[in-house]
Amino acid sequence: MKFGFSTAGESHGPAEVAIVHGVPAGLGLLAEDIDRDLARRQRGYGRGGRQKIEQDRVEFLGGVRHGYTLGSPVAMLVRNRDYANWEERMNPAPVERPPEKITLPRPGHADLAGMQKYAHDDLRNVLERSSARETTARVAAGAVARKLLGEFGITVHSAVYRIGGVAYPRELAVRDAAKADASEVRCPDPEITERMKAEIDAARYARDALGGEFVVVAEGCPPGLGSYVDWRDKLDARLAAAVMSINAIKGVDFGLGFGLAARRSSEVQDEILLEDGRLARASNRLGGLEGGMTNGEPVVISAAMKPISTIARALRTVDLSAMEPARAFRERADSCAVPAAAVIGEAMVAVVLAEAFLEKFGQDNMTDIRASYEAYLGRIGR
């Protein structure tokens, strides 16, 4: 089976689960490889109280033995500590005193269409799965992909370059993405970090919330991941879909982004040079992708996140039981989750790159993949 993953789990259920399939045998994999990214996802100025309750830790249930993958699906479980407070409300078994149904759908959420589509009369049945808590399992899967890519010198970083009205130049965020972990908002600049935090505080004070923009940068990809031959194989499209699938992401672009539409061609293409007898590029304005394939330059993909929908100043809705105007249901909420979304963006990019990497170099075991990778680099002179 191709490299990829599925997740299961409800936000306040017993656990989040990820099953990663198509993982080659012989990849070194430890719980700490996963836990590191789970912790990075939980950080970030502007998160709500939930992150204080959860301290995510992975448990391997299959696919790993004595620190190495077996070639079988890697099954991972991350317990929801908060479940202890929700055992009655979220128990998989019938309970004696069922909780009151929630019938006040929140604008900007899956609530209303989800209730209509799945014939639910309690919006808890929708929000528990549509919540971004599910991205915990995605980050666990992404950490497996990151470990695989790391074996071939491919790194994936992210940085935040906008929170609400406070922006930082995108090209500097790309350049310094590897330093973003030091910032509470994942912005590599200490002064802008403080301004972004103040922006979040101001929104929270106004009982409102903020979105923003982040960039994911993958360095070290060989040329030729993805393909121009079939639309389903085009790597830019696959990366865009993966990042767009993250909750609240409303736009994705590459390299210079939509700004390239206003420029002349000579200011957009990346000229091909010979440097010491090797092929090189004069720039990386297109974000490392041409013709649906990596071209050997860093892959640069940016995303715009909408503001968090659940705000203290509750928005107008309709009570679906009484069919009367009302104010939206409020669940404990973040006031800004752009830094966390950037870490989730890294995970989704890593998964797509790992999938494309294994398509190109085989996927049974690390020894054969390494041999295939080195033969390819030798042939193209890299």
Ligand X SMILES: Cc1cc2nc3c(=O)[nH]c(=O)nc-3n(C[C@H](O)[C@H](O)[C@H](O)COP(=O)(O)O)c2cc1C
Site residues (vs ligand X, CB under 6 A): 48, 108-110, 130-132, 135, 246-248, 306, 308-310, 333-334, 337, 340-341, 344
Nearer to ligand X, 298 or 339 (CB): 339
Q: Is 332 among the annotated ligand-binding positions?
A: yes
Q: Is 292 among the annotated ligand-binding positions?
A: no
d(CA 317, CA 370): 56
What is the smallest separation between the CB atom of 169 and ligand X, expressed in angstroms? 24
What is the smallest separation between the CB atom of 336 and ligand X, expressed in angstroms? 9
Q: Is 307 among the annotated ligand-binding positions?
A: yes
Nearer to ligand X, 144 or 246 (CB): 246
Nearer to ligand X, 90 or 344 (CB): 344
What is the smallest separation between the CB atom of 204 and ligand X, expressed in angstroms? 12
Nearer to ligand X, 131 or 294 (CB): 131
Q: Is 316 among the annotated ligand-binding positions?
A: no
CB hemisphere CA count around 353 (13 angstroms): 37
Nearer to ligand X, 23 or 115 (CB): 115
CB hemisphere CA count around 13 (13 angstroms): 21
Q: Is 41 among the annotated ligand-binding positions?
A: yes
Nearer to ligand X, 27 or 215 (CB): 215
d(CA 357, CA 152): 10
Q: Is 266 among the annotated ligand-binding positions?
A: no
3-state SS, the chain, equals CCCEEEEECCCCCCEEEEEEECCCECCECCHHHHHHHHHHHHCCCCCCCHHHHCCCCEEEEECEECCEECCCCEEEEEECHHHHHCHHHHCCCCCCCCCCCCCCCCCCCCHHHHHHHHCCCCCHHHHHHHCHHHHHHHHHHHHHHHHHHHCCCCEEEEEEEEECCEECCHHHHHHCHHHHHHCCCCCCCHHHHHHHHHHHHHHHHCCCCCCEEEEEEEECCCCCCECCCCHHHCHHHHHHHHHHCCCCEEEEEECCHHHHHHCCHHHCCCCEEEECCEEEECCCCCCCEECCEECCCCEEEEEEECCCCCCCCCCEEEECCCCEEEECCCCCCCCCCHHHHHHHHHHHHHHHHHHHHHHHHCCCEHHHHHHHHHHHHHHHCC
Nearer to ligand X, 252 or 369 (CB): 252
Q: Is 131 among the annotated ligand-binding positions?
A: yes
Of 290, 276, 166, give the one whose Cα is nearest residue 225.
Answer: 290
What is the smallest separation between the CB atom of 262 and ligand X, expressed in angstroms? 28
Q: Is 47 among the annotated ligand-binding positions?
A: yes
Nearer to ligand X, 133 or 360 (CB): 133
What is the smallest separation between the CB atom of 333 and ligand X, expressed in angstroms? 4
What is the smallest separation between the CB atom of 132 and ligand X, expressed in angstroms? 3
What is the smallest separation between the CB atom of 107 and ligand X, expressed in angstroms? 10
Q: Is 138 among the annotated ligand-binding positions?
A: no
What is the smallest separation between the CB atom of 206 and ligand X, expressed in angstroms? 16
d(CA 205, CA 207): 5
Nearer to ligand X, 48 or 150 (CB): 48
Q: How many CB atoms lie within 10 A of CB 20?
A: 27
What is the smallest separation between the CB atom of 72 and ligand X, expressed in angstroms? 30
Per the annotation, binding residues for FMN are: 129-131, 247-248, 291, 306-310, 332
Per the annotation, binding residues are: 41, 47, 129-131, 247-248, 291, 306-310, 332
Per the annotation, binding residues for NADP(+) are: 41, 47
